[in-house]
Amino acid sequence: MALPHDGKLALVTGATRGLGRAIAERLRDDGARVIATGTKPDGVPPPGCEFMAVDFTDAEATEAFAEKIRARAPLILVNNAGIGIEKGIEELKTSEFREVHDINLVAPMILCRAVVPGMRRAKWGRILNVGSIYGIISREKRVPYSSTKFGIDGLTAALAPEVARDGILVNTLAPGFIYTDMVAAATDIDVPALEARIPIGRMAQPGEIAAFASWLVGPENTYMSGSNVVIDGGLVRV
Ligand SMILES: NC(=O)c1ccc[n+]([C@@H]2O[C@H](COP(=O)([O-])OP(=O)(O)OC[C@H]3O[C@@H](n4cnc5c(N)ncnc54)[C@H](OP(=O)(O)O)[C@@H]3O)[C@@H](O)[C@H]2O)c1
């Protein structure tokens, strides 16, 4: 039986761990050929995925990586790599603010620019930008993170109409809280108290988000573009 992604080439950034790894695995299982990225040259991708190392804080390396990707012309791009820095405004360094933007927002733009020509040629493409519920609501100490996550949805909103007539659909996926290193590293998240607030009663497993991500970038999604889709166990509605 044909699998949904049918041998299409997909690029998933930040796919060594957490959500990106789960998305890469799911796309692979759903029939894509997957390029998975991480920062370290000896990074370990999911089995069966090709690995490319790139650090999005290195502007030159990011542009060189994008040129390699342009030549490969993937028809699926998942801009997933991301970091968070939790700091109040008085403590926040400009360099830290820039770092979060380089990884969470500038690199996704550069990669969109690199893949759109190949997608236009194929008259088919799917771009998924990983946002966050902190791109819809926010809280203290999230100035760097939230400004990138509101920003990436702006990228989606503006790019979607620019490319829609060429069969390219662009969306933002806004997860709530997922059991990954990012949540474990956030010092101001009290997991039991948080889970008590989430209507479903727990954080998400990466695979639960990845299943929906695979649908969004697949052939069954024929009409959703320019959307910011929340997947958060009901949290932002309470
Ligand atoms: N976890 C959550 O609850 C949650 C909620 C909403 C949205 N999100 C979003 O989901 C995405 C993935 O989050 P996660 O929790 O899975 O994160 P994670 O477990 O911390 O993994 C982050 C990934 O990004 C890569 N990365 C980090 N710094 C990078 C850099 N300088 N250049 C290129 N890649 C870099 C990492 O590569 P290395 O392994 O090489 O470091 C890793 O593959 C992010 O965009 C995040 O904002 C997460």
Residues 27-75 have pLDDT tens digits of 999 999 999 999 999 999 999 999 999 999 999 999 999 999 999 999 9
User: What domains can you pick out in the chain, each with its CATH number?
Assistant: 9-237 (3.40.50.720)
Q: How confident is the model at residue 140 (pLDDT cuts 50, 70, 90)?
A: very high
Arithmetic mean of pLDDT, 139-145: 97
Give phi and psi for 92, each to the nearest 5: -75, 125
Catalytic residue flag (residue 179): no
Pocket test for ligand 1, best of 35, 83, 95, 152 (most atoms within 8 A of CB): 83
**Quick check: 77 and 27 in contact, CB under 8 A?**
no
Res 188: pLDDT: 86
Res 1: pLDDT: 79
**Quick check: 177 and 194 in contact, CB under 8 A?**
yes
pLDDT digits (tens, 9 = 90+) for 159-192: 999 999 999 999 999 999 999 999 998 888 899 9
Q: pTM above the 0.95 mark?
A: yes
Angle between helices 143-163 and 94-101 (to 10 degrees): 30
Structural tokens at position 115: 């893949």
Distance separating alpha carbons of residues 181 and 51, to the nearest angstrom: 20
pLDDT digits (tens, 9 = 90+) for 92-103: 999 999 999 999
SS3 (DSSP) at 136: coil
Q: How confident is the model at residue 119 (pLDDT cuts 50, 70, 90)?
A: very high
SS3 (DSSP) at 83: coil
Structural tokens at position 24: 């890469």
Res 111: pLDDT: 99
For residue 229, give the H/E element and its range: strand 228-231
AA identity, residue 232 = D
CA 14 / ligand 1 centre spacing (Å):
6
